[in-house]
Structure 1
């Protein structure tokens, strides 16, 4: 089959399949560019089923781009809590403020303007312009690169930036005139539902008839992708500091700095240790916690018994955390420090937590409440 005929076959059959089989997703129910933008940012590194309730809650609270721009950052982070990769939420709000200031609150319609917004890369630019405005721009993510690699039997390493650029050119050539919105969503849908990473369902694929990867028996080995570096383990001791007197039943927590990893979120106080050997010594961890918090003006007495373990997985590293118990000294002074708060179960939902600390504190409060009830 000639290349041009093959491209027409691919586009026509894919669109026919999509219009019959597409999932009913909340961000597909309108062409609102703001809603499409929010959904695409949320869907980065996150499964559709996970995103749906977060999307509803987010757009219910911030129904317009202007309302998102005006909201306190802490509230935006709270409504993002649990999705992870919190820089996405901060960048989204920063970009919303830029749209309000520069474009009167209307999402711009040119590639240069959209791609210039904070946190908006080539894929999100293409998704907004094509889905919301039906512009013939490619939106190439991992799903799309997998489909195209298999269909055209491409050996290019999809981890390389040059491959993404060539994939964008190939995807753009496939977009039928006036069909950019449905076509790009169809391509993503095929990769998510049929042409999956490990078990492609070739019999259910609408374009398998001319899929060169399937013909050559290579559908399970494509696409070619160099493996990412293994996430580096980082060992930490955290502490649950129990209050007494006026703060009985409460726990001491602190807010992270304004910039950097998990910026402005709340956490249990913790310290990093240099190696796993030290991490296996809770007595050393107790001493390190006492010294570290003293430097911040917070005096505690930590026990050398591990009361819990958890981990927090980032793209490039993994926090491995052991939790110790402690009591505060001079707690009236502690309570006045701006980076620290005493919080109880009744205050817990007022703060935005990384998942690992949400889990640890939830377990602690549940155990404490059950213990009190006995």
Structure 2
């Protein structure tokens, strides 16, 4: 037992020296739990439609806003958390307003709204960490609204949820204070596109949007169990160059293939020990926060595990649906790879310059 604890301590220090990201992981879980608890209070949810889970929506908004926030000071973090929560609410509102008339064209077509969020998640990275977070939050808001099947009648509930989420996300950040030292994702390298008229932000947006359109088309024609998982894979494997996208795709597939079976192995505990699975999901989200952004494979495995067990505890016990997480993620990754390598390839000019300096001159 002591050997296991020593190995665990060594692993924690190697992946998270100084325990800064562990603190952020605890903050994510605290923000989600606080928002979920506030959203279920009768005085808050009394005027909300019966089918609308304000607590779950507020919890997810607070959680993913906390993931995207990466500032050092309390003031800057609070400001960004407010903007990120509002961006998520905006995404949810756009889906809720668009879904009813898109539903008239087929069950899969409301998901076409996710394509706009997918594009913004890539395009807004031109504005740094705040832009990348806002683009991601708009997509996540649309995704949450899609999963909850929100309609225009749910707009007041979205407003309540975002207010709860802002409070729940900012309070833990104010308490964590200087104990956090955010690790930012590496800056995008200078890149060049095959198409000179296509700038890097447009290429990043199209690399996510075009595969997402294909996924929606496949869902409309042949039917997919959980097409949103394939779209999400298209969005979050996009990197600043073709090589970076390849690496993220490999990490996401490997992580998903590890996390999904681990989650399925815990399926028998869903009915008998739900609190144990909720605790395991919380620990997985802490590991997720620790692993980002340096160990994307570990982060993907932790999130896939957390998703599997929370779905199981929430009543989803179909192995077919849960396994769709793996193969539809692989489908989204394959389409994103095609977009990054063939349709809108980006070349890292820094590597090209370094290779030109190292390679010997040609002898004529």
Measured against the shorter chain, the TM-score band is under 0.3
Going by fraction, where is strand more abundant, 1 or 2? 1
Larger radius of gyration: 1
Q: Which has the higher contact order (CA 8 A, sep 6+)?
A: 2
